[in-house]
Amino acid sequence: MIAATSVQTIMTPAVYTSTAKIFLSATQPPDPGNGTQVATYAVNSDDLARYLDVLNAPSVIEPLRARLGLAPGTPISVAGEVSQTSNIMTITATGGDPVLLARIANEAGPVLADVATKKFSPLLAANGQSVEATTIAPATAPSEPVSPNAKRNLMLGGLLGLALGIGLALLRHTLDTKVRTEDDIKALSKRPILGDIPMVKSVKDGLMSLESDPHGRHAESIRRLRTNILFVDVTTAGHSFVVTSSVPGEGKTTTTINLALAMADAGSKVLLIDGDLRNPSVARTMGLDGSFGLTTLLLGLADPEDVIQRWRQSTLHVLPAGPVPPNPSELLGSEPMEILFGKLAHDYDFILVDSPPVVPVIDAVLINKLTHGLIMVVGADRTRKRDLASAVQSLETVDVPVAGFALNMAPVSSSTAHRYGYYGYNRDADAKLGRRQKRARAKHEA
């Protein structure tokens, strides 16, 4: 705004004013017969008002141009003001040439007096009298324009820019309906934020960053989330959590899978259960067979060891959702589900359950009755504040407090890993090194 004001100020032609003060009087020439001297009389107020009216008339302006030596038609702008207590007239010339303006203001008075005597004061002329203009304060060439006023314009531009910026910020805050930062979550709930997970390319190329990019920012943020959940685990005296979100598309399944991998990396015997019986995706994401699983066990068609699949050579085990049933909520809240979960909790060190979102269905609440805490994943720039608020309120209504939040897809610039860094191999910094620097570092390390 200040820059635009500056440009406009520079491009606007400068306007100057120059002012002269004159005293108008009527003079009586001497009478040679009786030896009287010149008599001077003050011009009455009626004549002064008449002179003021004709100051800009062609009969005054044309003689003024001629006296100044200006070409016919040259613009001249003059204005006059008469004092209420004396015969002093103030003449102001306005234009773009400071020197010419001073000449105009100084010459306008004498020209006006001469024209007034000949054309606008017939009574004075009949008595042989004339009007004279005595300069009291001559006009000088102005050094600064009256318009544009640079200081004033810049000040107004700055204030307008400040007001506009504040207004836009308030408007954006009012119209911004999405959760973007941790502060947006804190405004809706007092529960702790257990971690922020950045959106990085490695997650787009391979959803399981703990394996595809174990030293990347995403993997480090998952490990930090794992550590914070272990602290929550201490306070709840349990070893199982349900992971959910307010609405679909917030990355809860990807977060749950990577979190289970991180738990297994720490040496725990971990079971990952796909509790989303409406839209199961754990088996598909991990490349496992999802044709049998949790629903198979709940129907009594198999034993846990027959359907639970071990992830490669790790201590992570996966229980897919199995065939999609017509009554997911009834199965998750059933007595067989409670008995099964009790047995699984005895066999594994840690259990993570991926559940459907909270706003559309109640499944996460039913699963939470079996676990010891609920982790809610919030997608930055995806989750609407009203959806998150609705989810939190729904959980609080049924006395299911959120154990903690995980801000997923957070901008890298605001993530914890970016702010504080982490110990390990810095691939970003290494990519910026030239060949010589890499060879020098390798030689030094050797």
pLDDT at residue 205, rounded to an integer = 47
How many CB atoms within 10 Å of residue 154? Answer: 16
Mean pLDDT within 199-221: 76
- Region 125-140: what's the mean pLDDT? 79
- pLDDT given at position 425: 38
pLDDT band at residue 199 using 50, 70 and 90 as cut-offs: confident
Residue 211: its pLDDT value, please?
85
What average pLDDT does range 388-408 have in this prediction?
A: 94
Q: Do 91 and 55 meet the contact criterion of CB atoms below 8 Å apart?
A: yes
Query: How many residues in the chain?
Result: 446
Average pLDDT over residues 336-347: 95
**Most trustworthy range by pLDDT among 12-26, 154-168, 425-439:** 12-26
Instruction: Give me the pLDDT at residue 86, please.
Output: 74
Record the pTM. 0.60
* Predicted pLDDT of residue 421: 42
| Cis preceding-peptide flag for 148 (omega within 30 of 0) | yes
Average pLDDT over residues 424-432: 41
Predicted local distance difference test score (pLDDT) of residue 215: 87
Q: How many CB atoms lie within 10 A of CB 49?
A: 10
CA dihedral (319, 320, 323, 324) in degrees, to 10, reads 110
Q: Is pLDDT of 400 > 50? A: yes
Q: What is the mean pLDDT of the chain?
A: 82
* pLDDT tens-digit series, residues 177-193: 899 999 999 999 999 99
Which residue type, as a one-letter code, is found at position 202? S
What the block records as the tokens of 393 is 């309120």
Q: How far apart are CA 395 and CA 245, in angstroms?
A: 11
Please check the confidence at residue 30 and state whether its pLDDT lies above 70.
no
Q: Using the predicted structure, report yes or no on whether residue 130 has a pLDDT greater than 90.
A: no
> Domains in the chain, ordered, with CATH?
6-137 (3.30.70.1130), 178-438 (3.40.50.300)
- Give pLDDT tens digits for 360-390: 999 999 999 999 899 999 999 999 999 999 9
3-state secondary structure the chain: CHHHHHHHHHHCCCEEEEEEEEEEEEEECCCCCCCCCCEEEECCHHHHHHHHHCCCCHHHHHHHHHHHCCCCCCCCEEEEEECCCCCEEEEEEEECCHHHHHHHHHHHHHHHHHHHHHHHCHHHHHCCCEEEEEEEECCCCCCCCCECCHHHHHHHHHHHHHHHHHHHHHHHHHHCCECCCHHHHHCCCCCCEEEEEECCHHHHHCCCHHHHCCCCHHHHHHHHHHHHHHHHHHHHCCCEEEEEECCCCCCHHHHHHHHHHHHHHCCCCEEEEECCCCCCCHHHHHCCCCCCCHHHHHCCCCCHHHHCEECCCCCEEEECCCCCCCCHHHHHCCHHHHHHHHHHHHHCCEEEEECCCCCCCCHHHHHHCCCCCEEEEEECCCCEHHHHHHHHHHHHHCCCCCCEEEEEEECHHHCHHHHHCCCCCCHHHHHCCCHHHHHHHHHHHC
Res 25 pLDDT > 60: yes
